Structure 1
Amino acid sequence: MNIPSSTHPRVIVIGGGFAGISLIKQLKKLKVQIVLFDRHNYHTFQPLLYQVSTAGLEPDSIAYPLRKIFRNHKNFHFRMADVLEIAPSEKKITTSIGELTYDYLVIATGTRTNYFGNKNIESNSMPMKTVPQALNIRSLMLQNIEEADISEDPKERERLLNFVIAGAGPTGVELAGALAEFRKGILEHDYPELEEEEMNVHLVEGSDRVLPPMSKKSSKNAQKYLEKLRVKVHLNTLIEDYDGTLVKTKDGKNFRTATFIWAAGVTGAPVQGLNGEALLEKPNRYQVDSFNRVVGYDTIFALGDIALMNTKDFPEGHPQVAQPAIQQGKHLGENFKRLLANEELKPFDYFNKGTMATVGRNKAVVDIKKLNFGGPLAWFLWMFIHLFFLVGFRNRVITFFNWTYNYINYDRAARLIIRPFKKK
């Protein structure tokens, strides 16, 4: 692999998500060689993927080239590749483009979609973890509406215009709200032959409320907003199977649909090579100490969604969202400065800034410690926070312009089938 030799310690970072980027921003201040591996050449702002999938934003609004973020740092190197295996005894990784040794290794590979072993759902449903997957959903949604517009079979039209989402966490709730707003703002204007009432959005959740990680007040408000948008919420409903046409639930409630989006769970995305107590099998996350060091390894660290740090406040690990990843990345970068100076490391202490979710126009919910509120104020706060954390000035400007345009015109300008989705 063509990485130049260096007199500085080599730090390999696997994953260009929130944790990896946050760490590298700190490392670039130190005398280390940084090598970043990712299977994509861009950082994805995952909280806004649902807007790409529902034609609210183009993908380049939420994606940013990894090389551009650190283009002015001479000791930074990026390689687009899959990391296949870690050999800790040799301090080496094997990738799809070759092998490379390290002095320190940081794993920030995040999560992947969890289908809980259901192969039919994995084969036939639509996941939404990456930009290509979000574009697949956008294409399929628009293709199905186009097909429904020319279909003369009422049952087929019903299947094509039935949208079913599994999982009422933030992703599912935001996606359901966006689809409902698409129906309200686009369908009657672009498809006069279709009735707005023909398009149905179903949100299916196994627990007794939407947004289970948030407060009960926010869950109640979010469900109220969803129902105001005429989203059909199905609680205490577990999905059993999907064959490409029929979603089956354990209580016998079935849905005929051509668009079934799976947002019901994630699991860690570990790299082969670290076993034993380091990798916890059920959550697929690496067990780390209070310094984000993988248990049993002095020079290997894990950050963000892939790391499980047991604390008094978070006995089952920190939530798999952006803030813990960003804070852990920054903190480990500061600890690297101490590590290189042979100073004592400081334990990580997570500062919970709160959680939020948007349902639609002027509809969002926010939990900040004991403060729980919803409505327009929560929605504007949600917009400001998400704009602030987007990488790149251009991305912020384009996203703000699109949101303003959509707000004024009830429009979604990115409803283009650029790359048709081929159904299996």
Structure 2
Amino acid sequence: MYSGIPKTSQKRVVIIGAGFGGLAVARKLATYPEIQTVLLDRNNFHQFQPLFYQVAMAGLEPSSISFPLRKAFQNRSNMHIRVTSVTSIDTERQEVETSTMGAISYDYLIIAAGAETNFFGMKNIIERALPMKSVGEALALRNRMLENFERALISDDLDERQGLMNVVVVGGGPTGVELSGTLAEMKVHILPKDYPELDFRQMQIYLVQSGGELLEPMSRQSQIKSEQYLKKLGINVMLNARVTDFDGKYVYLLDGTKLRTDNLVWTAGVKATTFEGIPSEVMGRGGRIKTNAYCQVESLPNVFAIGDIAAVMGDEKFPDGHPQLAQPAIQQGKLLAKNLIRIIRKENLVPFKYKDLGSMATVGRNLAVVDLPFLKFQGFLAWLTWMFVHLVSIVGVKNRLMIFINWVWNYITYDQSLRLIIRSKEPIIKSEVEEAEPTHVNPS
């Protein structure tokens, strides 16, 4: 198969994944003429994951939090982007096998494929729960919620209506907290206007967390305040509660509790994306690839890993690897680009040290919690801080402007104008048409 990538005297760096880490390292490498960079991703765009929940809750268009990769690298002749999936890695031959182009050779390989939803091996939940690790999954959740309200309108069965309206969110991290808070505000300010025939006092929102606190990595002060905010919004916060099963109608907890719902949203955990060909001995907790302080994979000096998929060793504050957040990935990507140039130029490498810029989460209108290295605060100022940080982090001036306009409009009107049920339509292939057509028998 043909990749269209020319062979040159440049050192070829192949990057798997265009998330925060992959995009950061690619942008830096594209400025060095002595390197040929090949960026591989299943999508032709970068996704801003922290705002997936706003797409799911009809607050933002998917295009507002997505940025075309090719636009980011226009006029860079040493940059090659291919939309494909990596099926395996051959570290001996220094090749990555792809689903559409066959093998692509590399001089240096950067694995930045991120993480995927961890269902902890529960088959029914894998099949029936709604995850939210991509723009597509966020849209699927939006469609499901809106379709269920439409179905509830025409149901004369009280139990069925209850199941269609109730929502159980599993996972007390930032995504679960932010999704629950937004849904609670929609329940009060938006949905009763769209569906006046439904009694939204019957709608129950549950946030189920297996641990004893929400927002586990944050300060105790922020954990307590976020729980208070959620309860004030009418959310049933259930701590020390572990989900064991979901049959499509009931969520079952370890203590025997049953929660009636057709809608289980799963934000409970992630696991690193895995690739065939990576030695098992370099795999750490959660499937993360163990690297040294320079992001080099153990025993593979020309293979690197960054972001959620990596457990970078050597930082005393984070002995098991850094948090699976955007900032560690971005910082690792920027430093790795510089270190690759140092390797090529035979210069000394600089070890990675994570600069913790803080963490934050929003619960609802005027409600947020912020932990900075030097200050912790909550409420309206924290909410403004959260909005500013996320707005400047978005890739693309147009995206920032569109998000700002949407946020201002939503704040003034208490409304989200994107409550559209959008279904994809696949073309019917000839064999399917032939199977669907009845066989006509000539009566004569």
Superposition TM-score tier, normalisation by shorter sequence: over 0.9
- Match status 1:284 vs 2:287: yes
Match of 2:30 in 1: 28
Match of 1:61 in 2: 64
Residues 201 and 366 (structure 1 numbering): CA distance in 2 closer, same or farther, change over 3 Å? same
Match of 1:17 in 2: 19
Secondary structure, counterpart of 2:301 in structure 1: coil
User: Could you state the TM-score of these two structures normalised by the residue count of structure 2?
Assistant: 0.93
- Hey, what's the Cα distance between the residues in 2 that align with 1:205 and 1:279? 27
- Match status 1:48 vs 2:58: no
Which of 83, 90, 106 in structure 2 is aligned with 1:80?
A: 83
- Hey, what's the Cα distance between the residues in 1 that align with 2:393 and 2:330? 10
Q: Report the residue type matching 1:259 in the other structure.
A: N
Match of 2:436 in 1: none
- Hey, what's the Cα distance between the residues in 1 that align with 2:400 and 2:5? 33
Unaligned runs of 5+ in 1: none
Residues 420 and 84 (structure 1 numbering): CA distance in 2 closer, same or farther, change over 3 Å? closer
Alpha-carbon displacement from aligned partner over 1:203-255 (angstroms, at most 9, x marks no partner): 00011111111111101110111111101101110001001111000011111
- Hey, what's the Cα distance between the residues in 1 that align with 2:152 and 2:75? 51
Secondary structure, counterpart of 1:24 in structure 2: helix
Match of 1:119 in 2: 123
CA displacement at 1:123 relative to structure 2: 0.5
- Match status 1:329 vs 2:328: no
| Alignment map for 1:151-170 (pairs within 5 Å) | 151-170=155-174
Unaligned runs of 5+ in 2: 426-444
Match of 1:140 in 2: 144
- Match status 1:256 vs 2:263: no
- Hey, what's the Cα distance between the residues in 1 that align with 2:103 and 2:299? 23
- Hey, what's the Cα distance between the residues in 2 that align with 1:368 and 1:196? 37
CA contact (8 A) 1:93 1:100 kept: yes
Q: Report the residue type matching 1:349 in the other structure.
A: K
Secondary structure, counterpart of 2:296 in structure 1: coil
- Hey, what's the Cα distance between the residues in 2 that align with 1:72 and 1:163? 47
Match of 1:38 in 2: 41
- Hey, what's the Cα distance between the residues in 1 that align with 2:169 and 2:393? 27
- Match status 1:103 vs 2:107: yes
Match of 1:205 in 2: 209
Secondary structure, counterpart of 1:272 in structure 2: coil
CA displacement at 1:187 relative to structure 2: 1.6
Alpha-carbon displacement from aligned partner over 1:389-412 (angstroms, at most 9, x marks no partner): 101011000000000000000101
Match of 1:356 in 2: 360
CA displacement at 1:196 relative to structure 2: 2.5
- Hey, what's the Cα distance between the residues in 1 that align with 2:389 and 2:214? 22
- Hey, what's the Cα distance between the residues in 2 that align with 1:204 and 1:279? 30
Q: Report the residue type matching 1:15 in the other structure.
A: G
- Match status 1:3 vs 2:1: no
Secondary structure, counterpart of 1:198 in structure 2: coil
Q: Report the residue type matching 1:70 in the other structure.
A: F
Residues 148 and 142 (structure 1 numbering): CA distance in 2 closer, same or farther, change over 3 Å? same
Match of 2:310 in 1: 307
- Match status 1:374 vs 2:371: no
- Hey, what's the Cα distance between the residues in 2 that align with 1:168 and 1:298? 38
- Hey, what's the Cα distance between the residues in 2 that align with 1:276 and 1:153? 52
RMSD: 1.1
Match of 2:178 in 1: 174
- Hey, what's the Cα distance between the residues in 2 that align with 1:72 and 1:39? 22
- Hey, what's the Cα distance between the residues in 2 that align with 1:129 and 1:395? 20
CA contact (8 A) 1:85 1:94 kept: yes
Which of 381, 388, 392 in structure 1 is aligned with 2:392?
A: 388
- Hey, what's the Cα distance between the residues in 1 that align with 2:9 and 2:388? 43
CA contact (8 A) 1:139 1:420 kept: no
Q: Report the residue type matching 1:7 in the other structure.
A: S
- Hey, what's the Cα distance between the residues in 2 that align with 1:108 and 1:179? 32
- Hey, what's the Cα distance between the residues in 2 that align with 1:82 and 1:277? 24
CA contact (8 A) 1:163 1:200 kept: yes
Alpha-carbon displacement from aligned partner over 1:117-150 (angstroms, at most 9, x marks no partner): 1111101100000011000000000011111122
Match of 1:347 in 2: 351
Q: Report the residue type matching 2:355 in the other structure.
A: F
- The number of equivalent residue pairs is 420
Q: Report the residue type matching 1:237 in the other structure.
A: A
Q: Which runs of 4+ in 1 moved over 4 A?
A: none
CA contact (8 A) 1:167 1:203 kept: yes
Which of 70, 74, 77 in structure 1 is aligned with 2:73?
A: 70
CA displacement at 1:370 relative to structure 2: 4.9
- Hey, what's the Cα distance between the residues in 2 that align with 1:372 and 1:253? 36
User: Could you state the TM-score of these two structures normalised by the residue count of structure 1?
Assistant: 0.97
- Hey, what's the Cα distance between the residues in 2 that align with 1:10 and 1:132? 32
- Hey, what's the Cα distance between the residues in 2 that align with 1:222 and 1:124? 28
Bigger RCO of structures 1 and 2 (CA < 8 A, at least 6 apart): 1
- Hey, what's the Cα distance between the residues in 1 that align with 2:196 and 2:50? 33
- Hey, what's the Cα distance between the residues in 2 that align with 1:225 and 1:276? 43
CA contact (8 A) 1:86 1:271 kept: yes
- Match status 1:92 vs 2:95: yes
Alpha-carbon displacement from aligned partner over 1:76-100 (angstroms, at most 9, x marks no partner): 0010000011111111111001111
Residues 326 and 136 (structure 1 numbering): CA distance in 2 closer, same or farther, change over 3 Å? same
